[in-house]
């Protein structure tokens, strides 16, 4: 069967999304076609509205606030001197769901299995260093390295800890309530709560 060029264009774009390959993209294309114009317009409007969302200038979490800070960084009740460094937004969301962490975050970005930080991640570390120097008097109470308990999570934790050790009184890791090889994003709230409380 020959695939129309418009479907092929859709597949080329959508198959770049996380977890979606060419076969799933084709199925989605047929789904959108069958749902009709009204549904497609709703989806297009929802996607276009994402242009109003930016990244927080302190932690790189998503925000639509005009001051450039996310709701967490903008909350005066949060302890800005306790910073959890997470890999991705979904890790932040999982930690927030426990309601056991009252500090702020830095989203570093997907870790590479090579154990090397890429240019974007190095830049985010520099942004954190500047933030600590400018807003926290050059020293923070605690930095929690909240990476998945995997081999490359451990390697990257050591790299980040070495970079930030002079800027904090304490560096900790999440407790091993999360099994080795597990992922924070998929941990239940009770397990993640234990990991936060048992950090070392």
| 54-94 pLDDT tens trace | 999 999 999 999 999 999 999 999 999 999 999 999 999 99
Q: What is the mean pLDDT of the chain?
A: 90
Total residue count of the chain as it appears in this document: 200
Please tell me whether the overall predicted TM-score, pTM, comes out greater than 0.85 for this model: no
Q: Which class is domain 5-52?
A: mainly alpha
Write down the domain spans for the chain.
Answer: 5-52, 55-197
What the block records as the tokens of 75 is: 């909350």
Q: What is the pLDDT of residue 183?
A: 79
> How far is it, in rounded angstroms, from Cα 184 to Cα 196?
11
* pLDDT at residue 177 in the model: 63
**CATH 3.40.1360.10 matches 55-197:** yes
What long-range pairs does 188-195 form, CB within 8 A, spacing at least 24? 189/94, 189/97, 189/98, 192/94, 192/95, 192/97, 192/98, 193/98, 193/100
pLDDT at 109 over 90: yes
Q: What is the pLDDT of residue 166?
A: 94
CB-based contact 128:164 (threshold 8 Å) = yes
């Amino acid at each position: 069967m020959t695939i129309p060029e418009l479907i092929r264009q859709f597949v080329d774009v959508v198959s770049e999304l996380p977890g979606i390959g060419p076969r799933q993209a084709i199925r989605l294309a047929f789904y959108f076609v069958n749902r009709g114009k009204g549904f497609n317009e709703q989806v297009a409007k929802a996607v276009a509205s994402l242009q109003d969302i930016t990244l927080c200038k302190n932690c790189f979490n998503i925000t639509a606030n005009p001051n450039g800070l996310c709701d967490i960084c903008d909350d005066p009740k949060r302890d800005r001197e306790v910073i959890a460094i997470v890999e991705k937004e979904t890790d932040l969301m999982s930690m927030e769901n426990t309601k056991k962490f009252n500090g702020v975050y830095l989203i570093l970005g997907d870790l590479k299995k090579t154990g090397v930080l890429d240019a974007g991640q190095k830049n985010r570390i520099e942004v954190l260093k500047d933030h600590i120097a400018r807003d926290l008097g050059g020293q923070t109470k605690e930095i929690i390295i909240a990476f998945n308990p995997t081999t490359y999570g451990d390697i990257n934790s050591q790299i980040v800890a070495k970079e930030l050790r002079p800027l904090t009184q304490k560096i900790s890791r999440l407790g091993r309530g999360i099994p080795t090889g597990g992922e924070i994003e998929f941990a239940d709230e009770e397990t993640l709560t234990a990991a936060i409380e048992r950090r070392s």
